[in-house]
Amino acid sequence: MNDVPKTLNFRKRSAQAVQDGTLRQAMRTATDTFTEKRSQGVASLPIEAWRDQASEIKIGVLDDLHNYVDRFAASATRAGAVVHRAPDAASARDIVYNVLKDHGAKRIVKAKSMVTEEIHLNRHLEERGMKVVETDLGEYIVQIAEESPSHILAPAIHKNRQQIGRLFADKLGVEYSEDPEVLTGIAREVLRQEFLSADAGITGANFAVAGTGSIAMFTNEGNGRMVTTLPKLHIAVLTIEKIVPTLADLMTFIRLLPRSATGQPLSSYLSVITGTRRPGDATGAEALHIVLVDNGRSQIAAGEFRDILKCIRCSACMNVCPVYRTVGGHAYGSTYPGPMGIILTVLLEGMEHAHNLLDATTLCGACADVCPVRVPIPHLLRELRKLRVKEGFTPSLERMAMAGFGMAVQSPRLFGLGDRMVKAAWPVATFLGGKGVLDRLPKPAKNTAGRRKS
């Protein structure tokens, strides 16, 4: 994309974000609420055993990813779906566009899907004269505000009710209200018309079952059900790591995903869709196209960072992340924010583009405590930082300082000298640093009684 900056500037974006009091309050409330609900939702359940199971299932698939992709494609085809393979984002966009064009579809309703954000699908279709309407309430709000989601589960969480009320009044010509119930009612009316008049529905999928060719979708609002059953054409776009072997394996993920996300035992709706409408069926799309997007996954699966592909996008890691809750999703400047987002963005977009995101962690490890599929997030972050050094994307001053450290650390005399230099240079450094880092540190002690000789 030509309007994407060459290198994400997390420092600048996050410094701006923390100035926004409304945003910070919203993020704090949201992440605290989700985290608290998750804790309650997993209490007194064999959650640790489920996490082990889920992790094992995912690893099993990653070990033999291409075989599972083939098996899923064969099963889905047998059930009546047309399966497409997209090696990258551009081909995925083209496939979706061509399917829509072939069906003469102009009006499209969408259920929330992160991969379509990743491949920037909406803009591609809109530039070609199609009307694309997001139907998840949060996603709809973000869409009419011409923004991007700030949270993968609650896309409009950065906006307060007043902002949404004004947005609806401006864009929809309705009377201003800041009552969430009224605003939700307005969206229900507007979007109901969209559902009923749409030519096609586009969704993602939370999981895809190799054995049966089914896709599983979790929603709370019911929009996913409308999108998949009302229009004649349904296009499901999903990345290949979403595959699980069998329906029986899916059970573990049904137990984990909603609980990790919102603490619910299950989202209001879980639809398992297999192929197209059968003879005698009263509902269901007549045509189902499944676009299996690789976009870097095969490469990741073959390398040392493969564990990130276990991720099921529950958002638990961002909800507990102390950095995410402070800066919000937009500061990352990437499709996927938070701890898993940093890893995925670096791997998908490249080190040159995303290396600054690697600073957006204190390596506190809170994410690893909650990840339902046991992605070793802190470990992957540390390894990516090593890779960043290896590839030369750290500041030269830092590299020099570290090299100096490497020499001094082996020589107590040199290290002691450094130590004394710190002390001697402190007043000057504090003065030069101004309101920066140094005056946040205490003054060095005059003597080093603690490290006396025994």
Partner 1 sequence: MTENSIVEEFLKRCENVAAKTVRVHSAEELQSAVHERLFDNDRVYCPAMTEREKTLVIREELRVDDCFSANVTVEEVLAGIVETGSIVCSSEGGRSLQASVLPERHIAIVATDRIFATLDDFFSRYDEDPPNNITLITGPSRTADIELTLTIGVHGPKSLDIIVA
Partner 2 sequence: MRAQLFTTCLVNTFFPGTGEATRKLLEYFGVEVLSPAGQTCCGKPPDSAGYTKEVRAAARHFLSVFEGTEPIVIPSGSCASMVKNHYQHLFERHDPMRRLAEETANRTFELTQYLVGELRAHSAGLRGRGKITYHSSCQLSRELGVKEEPLILLKSLEGAEFVELPHADRCCGFGGTFMAKLPEVSMKMADEKAELIEATGADTVTGCDHGCLMNIADALKRRGSRVKVKHIAQVLAEGL
* Shortest distance in whole angstroms from residue 311 CB to partner 2: 20
- The residue from 366, 374, 376, 430 that contacts partner 2 (CB under 8 A) is 366
- Per-residue x/- track, 207-246, partner 1 (CB under 8 A): ----xx-x-----xxxx-xx-xxx---------------x
CA 377 to chain centre: 14
| 3-class secondary structure, 441 | coil
Residue 406 identity: G
Write out the two tokens for 407: 């020499």
Sheet strands (E) in 1-112: 82-86, 107-110
- Per-residue x/- track, 324-363, partner 2 (CB under 8 A): --xx-------------------------------xxxxx
Query: Does the protein bind partner 2 through residue 423 (CB under 8 A)?
Result: yes
Distance CA 263, CA 209 (A): 24
410-423-436 Cα angle (round to 5):
105
* Shortest distance in whole angstroms from residue 281 CB to partner 1: 5
Query: Does the protein bind partner 2 through residue 434 (CB under 8 A)?
Result: no
Residue 161 partner contact from partner 2, partner 1, none using kind-dependent CB cut-offs of 5 to 8 Å: partner 1
CA 379 to chain centre: 18
Q: 171 and 144 in contact (C-beta within 8 Å)?
A: yes
Distance CA 144, CA 209 (A): 34
- The residue from 15, 49, 251, 401 that contacts partner 1 (CB under 8 A) is 251
Instruction: Return the bridge partners of 133, or none.
Output: 109
* Shortest distance in whole angstroms from residue 376 CB to partner 2: 12
Residue 385 partner contact from partner 2, partner 1, none using kind-dependent CB cut-offs of 5 to 8 Å: partner 2
Distance CA 381, CA 359 (A): 10
DSSP at 200: E
* Shortest distance in whole angstroms from residue 138 CB to partner 1: 4
Q: 276 and 48 in contact (C-beta within 8 Å)?
A: no
Query: Does the protein bind partner 1 through residue 273 (CB under 8 A)?
Result: yes
14-16-22 Cα angle (round to 5):
100
Residues in contact with partner 2 by the rule CB under 8 A: 10-11, 14-15, 18, 24, 28, 322-323, 326-327, 359-366, 368-369, 382, 384-390, 394, 398, 402-403, 405-412, 415, 419, 422-423, 436-437, 440-445, 447-454
Residues in contact with partner 1 by the rule CB under 8 A: 26, 29-30, 33, 79, 135-138, 141, 154-157, 160-161, 164, 180-181, 183-184, 187-188, 191-192, 195-196, 211-212, 214, 220-223, 225-226, 228-230, 246-248, 250-251, 254-255, 262, 264-278, 280-284
